[in-house]
């Protein structure tokens, strides 16, 4: 069996994004100056390595970026970014007492914000803005 050819704009790159909610607030990061799209606001997550599941990538990326062990709960959405990366968006849980700690190589700062607060921030990645619009319309339910 052969794989179907990828669409023309599909680079083959994939990523996983963690939506972590605590007391009505979502965990977001400001990206460090050392990564793509420096200084932008987004949800934690990152690339899926060859042979890695979405869930395993989510756990690894959250541990690397913010020092938290997450439990993937359910897949919420999928999109393709302007960089032609297919992102899988996952609702994830963390221990109630867990405190995120930014890895300065990847993350400048960590914040807990409401969806409305995040939507009002400058420099939110477009895919994250789209997620927030879908959340506000009820197309995505947490």
5 belongs to a structural domain? no
9 belongs to a structural domain? no
35 belongs to a structural domain? yes
24 belongs to a structural domain? yes
2 belongs to a structural domain? no
Tokens 């993350």 correspond to what residue?
A: 107
Instruction: Give the pLDDT band of residue 11 (cuts 50, 70, 90).
Output: low
108 belongs to a structural domain? yes
Q: What is the DSSP string of 26-89?
A: EEEEEEPTTSSSTT-EE-SEEEPPTT--HHHHHHHHHHHHHS---EEEEEEEEEE-TT--EEEE
27 belongs to a structural domain? yes
What pLDDT is attached to residue 94?
97
Taking only the tens place, the pLDDT of each residue in 21-80 is 999 999 999 999 988 889 999 999 999 999 999 999 999 999 999 999 999 999 999 999
82 belongs to a structural domain? yes
Boundaries of domain holding 40: 14-137
Token pair for 25: 């607030």
CATH at residue 32? 3.90.79.10
Total tally of structural domains belonging to the chain: 1
112 touches 30 (CB < 8 A)? no
């Amino acid at each position: 069996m052969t794989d179907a050819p990828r669409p023309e704009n599909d680079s083959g790159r994939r990523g996983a994004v963690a939506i972590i909610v605590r007391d009505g607030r979502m965990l977001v990061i400001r990206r460090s100056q050392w990564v793509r799209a420096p200084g932008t606001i987004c949800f934690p997550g990152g690339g899926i390595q060859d042979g890695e599941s979405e869930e395993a990538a989510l756990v690894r990326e959250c541990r690397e970026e913010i020092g938290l062990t997450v439990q993937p709960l359910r897949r919420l959405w999928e999109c393709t970014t302007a960089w032609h990366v297919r992102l899988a968006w996952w609702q994830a849980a963390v221990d109630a007492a867990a405190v995120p700690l930014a890895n300065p190589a990847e993350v400048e700062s960590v914040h807990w914000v409401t969806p409305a607060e995040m939507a009002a921030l400058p420099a939110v990645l477009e895919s994250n803005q789209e997620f927030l619009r879908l959340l506000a319309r009820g197309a995505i339910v947490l």
